[in-house]
Amino acid sequence: MKLKSIIFAFATFSAAGAYAQAPIVIKFSHVTTADTPKGKGAEKFKELAEAATKGRVKVEVYPNSQLYKDKEELEALQMGAVQMLAPSLSKFGPLGVKEFEVYDIPYILPSKAALQRVNEGPVGKSLFKKLEPKGIVGLAYWDNGFKDMTSNKPLRVPADFRGQKLRIQSSKVLDAQMRALGANPQVLAFSEVYQGMQTGVVDGGENTPSNIYTQKMHEVQKYLTVSDHGYIGYAVIVNKKFWDALPGDIRTALEGAMAQATTYANHIAQQENDAALDGIRKSGKTEIITLTPQQKAEWRKALLPVQGAVAGRVGKDLIDAFNREAAAAEAVK
* Least CB distance to ligand LMR at residue 233 (A): 9
Pairing of strands 231-239, 287-290: unpaired
Looking at beta carbons only, is 33 or 307 nearer to ligand LMR?
33
* Least CB distance to ligand LMR at residue 32 (A): 5
The CA-CA-CA angle for residues 233, 136, 145, to 5°, reads 5
Looking at beta carbons only, is 175 or 253 nearer to ligand LMR?
175
Looking at beta carbons only, is 31 or 137 nearer to ligand LMR?
31
Q: Which of 121, 117, 247 is nearest to 255 (CA)?
A: 247
* Least CB distance to ligand LMR at residue 56 (A): 29
Q: How far is CA 265 from CA 68, 200, 262, 281, in A?
A: 22, 34, 5, 24
- The number of angstroms, rounded, from the C-alpha of 2 to the middle of its chain's C-alpha atoms is 60
Backbone phi, psi, residue 226, to 5°: -75, 95
* Least CB distance to ligand LMR at residue 48 (A): 21
Looking at beta carbons only, is 83 or 169 nearer to ligand LMR?
169
> What span, in angstroms and rounded, lies between the C-alpha atoms of 147 and 206?
6
> What span, in angstroms and rounded, lies between the C-alpha atoms of 71 and 112?
28
* Least CB distance to ligand LMR at residue 57 (A): 24
Looking at beta carbons only, is 124 or 145 nearer to ligand LMR?
145
> What span, in angstroms and rounded, lies between the C-alpha atoms of 45 and 60?
10
Look up residue 80 and give its DSSP letter: T
* Least CB distance to ligand LMR at residue 152 (A): 18
The CA-CA-CA angle for residues 181, 307, 149, to 5°, reads 35
Contacting positions for ligand LMR (CB under 6 A):
31-32, 88, 144, 169, 190, 207, 211, 232
Looking at beta carbons only, is 42 or 52 nearer to ligand LMR?
42
Directed axis angle between helix 122-129 and helix 316-331, to 10°?
A: 150
* Least CB distance to ligand LMR at residue 224 (A): 15
The closest residue (CB) to ligand LMR is 88
Looking at beta carbons only, is 274 or 330 nearer to ligand LMR?
274
Q: Which of 72, 77, 69 is nearest to 131 (CA)?
A: 77
* Least CB distance to ligand LMR at residue 137 (A): 19
Query: Are 265 and 143 a contacting pair, CB within 8 Å?
Result: yes
Looking at beta carbons only, is 73 or 325 nearer to ligand LMR?
73
Q: How far is CA 17 from CA 21, 53, 286, in A?
A: 6, 17, 59
